[in-house]
Chains A and B, each alone.
Chain A
Amino acid sequence: MKKTVFILMVLLQLGVFLGMIYEKNNIVKNGREYRFRITYYDPYDFMRGNYLRISLEQREIETKDDEKYNREKGYFIINEKDSLGEIVEFTRENPKEGDYIKGEITSTYNGKQWIKNPFERYYVEEKMAKEMEEKLRASNEAYLRVKIYKGKYVIESIEI
């Protein structure tokens, strides 16, 4: 019994990890790339180290229906406009087609739906985090390269 449980634990822990790696690599390989304009600052996570807290420049979307969402979870439909990625619509149902990611509307006000930032973290080395922050202050223009595939995403890099 003990041996079986031990083997089960080993397989489970390795299997879940490898399964997740496979899924993410699949997004990198098959996902469509988008660029989003962003701003950021530099906090720390006890397990994953330094990261840049990213904030999308786009904060809201036009309301397309009469529903007033408040802390509503669903999906953001993503399109490309002027070679930049843009969240164009919020839907509660899984779109199944086109590019989309999971998202949340925090509130609806004045005909606009305020979006909860879907891309929050970009992990970097401590030194690099500070360098990037300084570069951003100088240029004030940064883009996030994201690959999206079947509702899931992987952040590839930041362009300053």
Chain B
Amino acid sequence: MSGAGDFFKVDYRTEGIHNKSSYGVERMKRKIMMTELERLNHKGLLDDENFKKIREYYEYERENSKSFSTYLTIIGLVMIALGIILLFAYNWNHLSRGVKTSLIIICLICSQGLLGYALWKEKKWSGGAGVLVFAISGLSIAMISQMYNISGSETGFYMTWVVLNIPNLYLCRSKLVGIPYAAILSLYLMSDGYILLYLLLTTPLFLFDKAEGRYSEFGETMVKVIVLLGIFHWYEGLWYEGLGLGYLPFYGGVFTLLYLWPVGMKKGAELVIIGIAYIGTFGRGGHLIPEITKFTTKPILSWGVFIAALLSLIYLKKWKDPVNYFILLIVPIVYSGAEELICNIYLFSLGVYFVWNGVKENTVKIFNKGSLLVSVILLSRFLDYDISTLLRGIVFILLGISLVSGNIYMSRRKL
């Protein structure tokens, strides 16, 4: 399990690297343990499958411990790439176009050669070499406009840059290349690029990553966040031009999709959805961040995202878990510009569901999450001066009575 993409994990291990003697002791311990495990395996006390799993785990650990030097190599290669960019950015007016062209070709071929060497001889460098190729290939196109003074469109430049590096992504399968790829792709969309082409060009980021199924969590998150920022920026543009369809329904739908699909953003998406519903509890946002609480007037896009989420629910066979319905409800609730009462009921029910689920599964984390949600809603309404004191008082008393009586009823049933 080597690979430059894993280099971020080195942060957690630096302590051991600084202390050389403890590092040696650790290695010795690992060796003794492996001998012992082998003995247990021979005696039949440890089955082959588990023995293999344990051995692979420790091999992975050992390789990760080497990654500090890999990290330095990668940083070095990235610095070289940046240095070359700066060198060419100097312009060198006294050099002819022919000389500049030759220098760029030499740089491009050298970086590609280094990537080839890394791919077949030193795999751990491949991420860094991939970044070098990514940077130099972009530089080569940028240099055309520098040499011939063409203003041109930045959109075309960014698109050509990423398209030229799709094979690079495939070969390296490293988030180290994925991050600049996603960043340049986002710049493409931000400079008047097409949303569909943008979405199409994001697929290699996830497609090639899945093929080997290994990635660093940090790099993975970075790529996803950059891709999402691109989409949000695009949507901001639509809103600015009067084509926006409402922030809350659209983002509600997008994050519902992210919640349902196994793309590793479930927790973050859940948090955003709770946030959206919470804003809704103030009734069209009240005085809280009014800009982001604009409700929709044109339904197509929001409902499109909602239907996609609904189909995902069916396709992914997640209909058995009630929480998915709860999450999905956010789109119609915020789309309808629902009165604050519905948002309050929605969020309160979600909180109660979490509490109930936490108790049922004996999971303190879920229980606390639900309790926190219920507490925040109650506290917010208690301090909400837009609702009359009398109404607040009555609602609180009724809710309190229903909770107490419900609990008494449940406890008697158990007895």
Answer whether A and B are interacting partners.
yes
Q: How far, in whole Å, are A128 and B116 apart by their CA atoms in the complex?
A: 39
- Number of A interface residues in the complex (CB < 8 A): 38
- Judged by a CB distance under 8 angstroms, whether B371 is at the interface is no
Asked whether any CB of chain A lies closer than 8 Å to the CB of B140, the reply is yes
Given contacts A13-B140, A48-B142, A154-B150, contact A5 B109 (CB under 8 A): no
A123 contacts partner chain B, Cβ-Cβ < 8 Å: yes
Classify chain B: how many residues form its interface, as a range: 35 or more
Asked if B171 contacts A155 (CB within 8 A), the reply is no
A123 to B97 alpha-carbon distance, docked (Å): 13
B168 beta carbon closer than 8 Å to chain A: yes
B148 at the interface (CB under 8 A from A): yes
Return the CB mask of B78-94 against A: 1 if under 8 Å, else 0: 00000001001111110
Residues of A within 8 A of B146 (CB): 48-49, 51, 123
A6 x B171 contact (CB < 8 A): yes
Task: Report A-chain residues with C-beta under 8 Å of the C-beta of B311.
Answer: none
Closest to B168 in A: A9
- Per-residue interface assignment for chain B, residues 132 to 174, with 1 indicating a CB less than 8 Å from any chain A CB and 0 otherwise: 0100011111111111111100000000100011011011000
Give A10's nearest chain B residue, CB to CB.
B112
Inter-subunit contact B144/A6 (CB<8 Å): no
Q: Is B397 located at the chain interface by the 8 A CB criterion?
A: no
For A5, list chain B residues within 8 Å (CB): 167, 170-171
Tell me which residues across on chain B come within 8 A of A120, comparing CB atoms: 151
A124 within 8 A of B: yes
B137 contacts which chain A residues (CB < 8 A)? 13, 17
- Specify which chain A residues have a CB less than 8 angstroms from the CB of B133 in the assembled complex: 9, 13
Residue among A49, A125, A154 making CB contact with B148, cutoff 8 Å:
A154
Q: Are A128 and B93 in contact (CB under 8 A)?
A: yes
Q: Which A residues from 16 to 36 make CB contacts under 8 A with B?
A: 16-18, 20-21, 24-25, 27-28
User: What is the chain B residue whose CB lies nearest that of A120?
Assistant: B151
Whether the pair B88, A49 counts as a contact (CB closer than 8 A) is yes
Q: Which of B89, B141, B167 contacts A17 (CB 8 A)?
A: B141
A84 interface residue (CB < 8 Å to B): no
At the interface, yes or no: A118 with Cβ under 8 Å from chain B? Answer: yes
Of A18, A46, A48, most buried by chain B (CB within 10 Å of CB) is A48
Whether the Cβ atoms of A2 and B88 lie closer than 8 Å is: no
In contact, A125 and B150 (Cβ under 8 angstroms): no
Q: List residues 269-287 of chain B with CB under 8 A from any CB of chain A.
A: none
Q: How far is the CB of A139 from chain B (nearest CB, A)?
A: 20
B108 at the interface (CB under 8 A from A): yes
Q: Is A121 among interface residues, defined by CB-CB distance under 8 A?
A: yes
Does A153 interact with chain B (Cβ within 8 Å)?
Answer: yes
A51, B91: Cα distance in complex, Å: 9
B116: chain A residues at CB < 8 Å are 6
Is A50 at the interface (CB under 8 A from chain B)?
yes
A25 to B150, CA, bound (A): 13
Cβ–Cβ contact B145 & A48, under 8 A:
yes
- Is B195 positioned at the interface, with any CB of A under 8 Å from its CB? no
Closest A-chain residue to B112, C-beta based? A10
B92 close to A119 (CB less than 8 A): no
Give Cα A118 to B153, complex, Å.
Answer: 11
CB of B119 within 8 Å of the partner chain = yes
> Closest residue to A5 on the B side, CB-wise?
B167
Q: Does B395 sit within 8 A of A, measured CB to CB? A: no
When the two chains form their complex, are residues A12 and B164 in contact, meaning their CB atoms are under 8 A apart? yes
Contact in complex: B108, A13 (CB < 8 Å): yes
Is B167 touching A48 in the complex (CB atoms < 8 A)? no
Partner of A124 from the list B93, B139, B145, B167 (CB cut-off 8 Å) is B93
CA distance A74 to B148 in the complex (A): 22
Q: A6 contacts which chain B residues (CB < 8 A)? A: 115-116, 119, 167, 171
Chain B contacts for A160, CB-based, 8 A: none
B interface with A by C-beta (< 8 Å): 85, 88-93, 97, 101, 104-105, 108-109, 112, 115-116, 119, 133, 137-151, 160, 164-165, 167-168, 170-171
23 A-B residue pairs with CB within 8 Å: A5-B170, A6-B119, A8-B167, A9-B133, A10-B109, A13-B108, A13-B112, A16-B164, A17-B105, A17-B140, A18-B105, A21-B144, A47-B138, A48-B143, A49-B89, A51-B149, A119-B151, A120-B151, A121-B145, A121-B149, A121-B150, A122-B149, A155-B150
Top-3 shortest CB links A-B: A49-B89, A155-B149, A9-B167
Which residue numbers of A lie inside 8 Å of B, CB to CB? 2, 5-6, 8-10, 12-14, 16-18, 20-21, 24-25, 27-28, 45-51, 118-126, 128, 153-155
